[in-house]
Chains A and B, each alone.
Chain A
Amino acid sequence: DGGITQSPKYLFRKEGQNVTLSCEQNLNHDAMYWYRQDPGQGLRLIYYSQIVNDFQKGDIAEGYSVSREKKESFPLTVTSAQKNPTAFYLCASSISPRGVGGETQYFGPGTRLLVL
């Protein structure tokens, strides 16, 4: 079955620690995205990537880093510089950034990050 997987489902971070959230897709999608969702809030874009080895900052990139070495994978690292990382993190992908088919985003199940 095609889809997007995220791991782990829950992640606990100690102060000063960097943690990495995994996102893998087997949909053969070019574009991938990371969003942060705080309780009762909408989604805010952290980073997005249109193609392998290329990515752009979203609206709240400070304290986060990403890499896109493979088409299927777009890991997100929450660094110690992110002072308030507790949130629900969602990874998404779409066929291509601006094709003609509408390119709805498909979302993974999410990772809930908590600070110890």
Chain B
Amino acid sequence: DIQMTQSPSSLSASVGDRVTITCRASQSITRFFNWYQQKPGKAPTLVIYATSNLQSGVPSRFSGSGSGTDFTLTISSLQPEDSATYYCQQSYSTPPTFGQGTKVEIK
């Protein structure tokens, strides 16, 4: 199975800050890669698909980049509603696997 490793596991930032979360795959997954947001008590929602495509309805302050084994999710200007846990996921091979999550808190 492909292992997905996220960093950091948690972060605290101020409103308006630029926030970057990284995810590394244990082998190349080309661009078959997604990001999800999960708020407490809620189901995950898709934020970015195929590495850099913004899911419908997601604010443009979210962006994704990367290829091969290294990927990033960037929030250009952190907002209070962005407080959540973010998960990466590879869809390159079965089984699809997720990272362990990055908890983003607002200072």
Q: Do A and B bind each other?
A: no
Interface residues of B (CB under 8 A from A): none
Residues of A within 8 A of B (CB): none
